Amino acid sequence: MGQLQEKFKSYRVPQEFMAKGIYPYFREITGKQGTEVEMGGHKVLMFGSNAYTGLTGDQRIIDKAKEALDKYGSGCAGSRFLNGTLDLHVKLEKELAAFVGKEEALCFSTGFSVNQGVLAVVVGKDDYIICDDRDHASIVDGRRLSFAKQLHYKHNDMEDLERVLQRLPEESIKLIVVDGLFSMEGDLAKLPQIIELKKKYNCAVMVDEAHGIGVFGRQGRGVCDHFGLTDDVDLIMGTFSKSLASIGGFIAGDKDTINYLRHATRSYIFSASNTPAATAAAMEALHIIQQEPERIDRLWKVTKYALKRFREEGFEIGDTESPIIPLYVRDPEKTFLVTALAFNAGVFINPVIPPACAPQDTLVRYALMATHTEEQVERSVKALKQIFIEQGIIKQ
């Protein structure tokens, strides 16, 4: 056995949870992802998806993806930088820029590679990146690749953010990077206060709208639009894998910054371009959410119902104000157990344990789609309440 194999032979944490029957990951879905899915012959209510608009199985999107497959083939066989740019990519970039209110946009093959690539190059060794300490892992990885000095502030603590900014030199570029909607806890960034501090301390701001697009703002334009602060935000990032029912991501901003990123971002230049089918699917989803505002209205109606019911039944759900509802368990192993019991009861939810959170903050993540019904929510609330009571997490 070699050194590499020797290093990992003792890693058996997943196997320990498998032996207990509570390992929650890599379950196989055998059909389209909607509000109910089949997993290994077991039908469950899907409350573990990021498909907030409920468009992943929409036939219009499937048809557009098929058309692109027929016209362009299955892939581009190269990067956007060389032979992999389609007219379809360029059209989507123009539509995305207009949608989020910026001059230009740049599309990537995944949302993760947007943050990873952009943050690595947009600021340099004499500059600063300042992050909320609950920013997404892709932001963390992106800033680690940067030569900029790295700082962070306590989650949504504006006094702590100001304390950090006060120490920084006026002449340096200072980039505040924040999730618009935090993907685990469901709360919003305090964007109005962040913009005030931006102006006070001469900073730039980048907002990750991965979970905000399709949920907040006019026609789902995101958290920046929701607060009316689009013009004050320098860079807006988004993904296709949530509300846009596809795979990929983008960065949007002023034309000069996007021009630089187009020629300097390694995860863009050295990655194969997004497939024609995925690009066409994202574009059609973008059209649908603008043409059907009632879809987002339905999302918020069912979200408000679920928030009300969980609070009525005594669940601890924190400061969420979105379709992402954290149900706090506050015990890592019990979080896995709750997830397994919920699955057996016909409800799919996601466990959130370290390193995604502190051990005392573990939770199960319950997320809604526009296509969920109040009846489905009610069934899930009743099943989860029984489990939480039996496990001593909430009282009868």
Give the residue numbers annotated as catalytic, written as ranges: 183, 211, 242
CA 77 from chain centre, in angstroms, equals 28
Q: Which of 15, 32, 80 is nearest to 258 (CA)?
A: 80
Pairing state of beta strands 249-253 and 104-108? antiparallel
CA dihedral 148, 153, 156, 160 (to 10 degrees): -130
The packing angle between helices 87-100 and 276-291, to 10°, is: 30
CB atoms within 10 A of CB 371: 22
Report whether the peptide linkage leading into residue 355 is cis, meaning its omega lies within 30 degrees of zero. Answer: yes
CB atoms within 10 A of CB 360: 10
Q: Which of 60, 24, 391, 370 is nearest to 220 (CA)?
A: 370
CA dihedral 45, 46, 47, 50 (to 10 degrees): -160
Strand order in 36-39's β-sheet? 36-39, 42-46, 347-348
**What 3-state DSSP class applies to 142?**
helix
Tokens of 80: 């956007």
* Distances 322 to 300, 339, 348, 365, 366 between C-alpha atoms, Å: 8, 21, 19, 12, 11
